[in-house]
Structure 1
Amino acid sequence: MAKSAVVVGAGVAGVATALGLRRAGWKVTVLERRREAERYGAAFGIHPTAQAALERLGAGEHFHAGAVPYRGARIRRPDGTVLASLPLERIERKAGRPELLVSRPRLLDALFEALDRAGDVALEFGRTASDVRALRERHDLVVGADGIGSAVRRECFGERSRQRRVGTVAWIGIADFESPVHGETWGAGRFFGLTPIEPGRTNWYATASGVTAPEELRELFAGWHDPIPRILSRTDPDTWLRYEMRHLHPALPSFVAAGDRTRGGVALVGDAAHAMTPNLGQGACTALLDAEALARACATADVPAALPTALRAYDRERRRAAQRVAFGSRTLHRFMATRHPGLRNSLVRLLP
């Protein structure tokens, strides 16, 4: 009898998990509350380890066709003075391949294309997971890939760990010209980032506190080095995305709940398990690593007898690693967003 899984959420974590489980021989259903796959979003940085996970999932070829390398990025002061280099060259030397940047829609396209090739996956859009208990009764495995406000997490793991604001507003957009510089510029209580995304276009992101309108953002960064003011003046504000930065706190004591003969097991992946601030640029990477690790752990598990052991193996592999990244990202946010940048800048200059 085919092992049955239901994946709640059709974002990066959910589609990657569905793909991995299907390739491992599971019968998979994906439930997504939206009517169609979301096409919003700017660039994701994909670390070499996550690239390898995509390749093991069978989505590598399509992904690489839409990705661009990230090299030569610097940390600057608002006047343009270089403080340090991002460690991209060190990553490339160690891994033998560069960090890659890809737009969220292109990454999802790569995953959906691979899912289509895997075949026989039920994609049900416009479906909410209103009764997680019923899902557990009908399936061997329920995967919560439903984001920071996860209904699966709330139902199966309680509400102690939940989304919390960090007090900073983030804006992201894409400009239709190539920036001559890439990296991040750190000011007092705010910062601005520029990355490639595809030929002829630049991905940008900005964070600050209390900014509610595009004109306020333009004014806040008006005196910063070129091309930051140009980027903001030449990007249509109607295409900008604004969101309040949140993270999951406190950290969960487990990403899994074992099943039994009457109800299936539960596993959390991606933001449902460890939503983090975007400062390290590792949200998509950790989601992909979660998906591949869960599929690998469950590939040969007999259900229901061996599934608890497989889920515990997934939890051991991913929970501490993902939570370290989340903690590091939150710590870096505090460091980057300080309103007293003198000491911070001096410390950054000491980086190798």
Structure 2
Amino acid sequence: MGNSAVVIGGGIGGLAAAIGLRRIGWEVTVVERAPVLDDAGAGISLAANGIRALDALGVGDEVRGAARPQYTGGTRRPDGTWLARMDGAALERALGTPIVGIPRAALHRLLRAALPPESLVVGADVTSVDRSDPARVLVGHGDTVLEADLAVAADGIAGRVRAELFPGHPGPVHSGSTVLRAITEHPVDLRSDFEVTWGRGAEFGHIAFTDGRAEWHAVVNSPAEVRHSDPLAEVRRRFGGWHDPIPALLDATRPDTVLHHDVGELVTPLPSYAVGRVALLGDAAHAMTPHLGQGACQALEDAVTLAAALAGATTVESALMRYDAERRPRSRSVARAARQAGRMGQQLTHPLAVSLRNAALRIAPSGTAVRMILRHADWTPPELT
């Protein structure tokens, strides 16, 4: 079995895959279409499964050092009434680590720092993945063709490689939600590490960072491709009357930093995450809604599992069969749970249904939230040797 790979996409999943492959002795080239790595993005929460995957990749300590543990917070109503509290200390006792919050840009930089600079090719849009030779795969970008033993498609929810591999698959669909988010320009006085507030067909949440700034996100039910000339003003209109610290978070935000994305997902599961010598990873394989905060964690699990499968196999094809068998059932289960969480949480609009949900949350035993998180976060990575 050879030991050269091309990773298509330099996001969290692609970089993690490259790190994992290098840890088992492979030569890796990451091809990223963005011409400039400006590290755009807001914030991200990483549960224990994501942190454990980063530990297996050898970068867990660096990420912990740049992240803020989420010990306090929970779920509220727009008037500020608490529906459920989060017990980060209980999660830490159960899993060895609390959930942590980190800017996406910081996570990207830490992952890139674990790779030699020459392994990353930027401004290169992959135009072809040639699988005609059963012994090699050819990845073309511009006038360049890279020959490798393995190609890893980590090119996101709209990636073209998945469409090439499965031309009959319907592809991603709009989930019915759109998200606006930003990081505050300066520190904000916050009383909790993480919060989510549910209204009718709307959600507002924040993640606190180590420097006192915070990421906030506003998710609303909306048709796809609806855009606003002043996104921050639209968020103020929808959420400005909600409880503190939501107005303060918006006041600390520059209008030109607000990002707006429709939430897509792969509702129709793929029949496989591997075809020949090509593996699909992260959103390219199982794009899910953000309602469980598991998207990046599942991509990190993919990266570690792929490297471990290759380390213990005699052929690339057998390794990818093992990778598919291990990852597809779990990631599909998490994606279904995320979709259901959105329907019962942010997307719920009927007043009676909202009242019943809120009442159920208030009377639920204190350990219910911890057990729900444990369902998806309690994952042990394979060892990379």
Q: TM-score, normalised by structure 1?
A: 0.91
In structure 2, what is the equivalent of residue 136 of structure 1?
137
Give 1:40 shift. Answer: 1.2
Q: Which residue matches 2:274?
A: 256
In structure 1, the gaps of 5 or more residues are 259-264
Q: Is contact 2:8–2:155 with CA below 8 Å preserved after alignment?
A: yes
- Which runs of structure 2 are paired with 1:1-352 in the superposition (5 Å)? 2-86=2-86, 88-116=88-116, 122-133=119-130, 136-137=137-138, 138-175=147-184, 176=186, 177-181=188-192, 182-210=194-222, 212=228, 213-258=231-276, 265-302=277-314, 306-336=315-345, 337-340=347-350, 341-352=354-365
Q: CA RMSD in A?
A: 1.8
What is the one-letter code of the residue matched to 1:272?
A
Shift of 1:60: 2.0
Distance between the aligned counterparts of 2:248 and 2:172, measured in 1? 34
Equivalent position amino acid for 2:212 in 1: G
| Structure 1 Cα separation of the partners of residues 87 and 285 of structure 2 | 27
2:115 match: secondary structure: helix
How big is each residue's C-alpha offset from its partner over 1:23-43, in whole Å with a ceiling of 9 and x where there is no partner?
211121111111132411122
**SS of aligned partner of 2:205:** strand
Deviations 1:246-290 (A, max 9, x none): 1112011211113xxxxxx11111110111111111111111110
* TM-score, scaled to structure 2: 0.84
Percent of residue pairs bearing the same amino acid type:
40
CA distance in 2 between counterparts of 1:100 and 1:268 reads: 27
SS at match of 1:184: strand
What amino acid does structure 2 have at the position aligned with 1:234? Answer: A
Question: What is the distance in 1 between the residues matched to 2:209 and 2:293?
Answer: 14
The one-letter code of the counterpart of 1:270 is: G
> Are the counterparts in 2 of residues 218 and 233 from structure 1 also a CA contact under 8 Å?
no
Which secondary structure does the structure 2 equivalent of 1:252 belong to? coil
Question: Which runs of no fewer than 5 residues in structure 2 stay unpaired?
Answer: 139-146, 366-385
Aligned length: 340
The answer to whether the 8 A contact 1:2-1:27 is kept is no
Shift of 1:350: 3.5
How far has the Cα of 1:153 moved from its partner? 0.8
Does the 8 Å contact 2:72/2:87 carry over to 1?
A: no
Q: Which runs of 4+ in 1 moved over 4 A?
A: none
Change in Cα spacing, 1:15 to 1:240, as seen in structure 2 (3 Å) is same
Greater Cα shift, 191-200 or 283-292: 191-200
- The one-letter code of the counterpart of 1:251 is P
State which drifts further: 40-49 or 209-218.
209-218
Query: Per-residue deviation at 1:142?
Result: 0.9
Any idea what SS the aligned residue of 2:101 has? strand
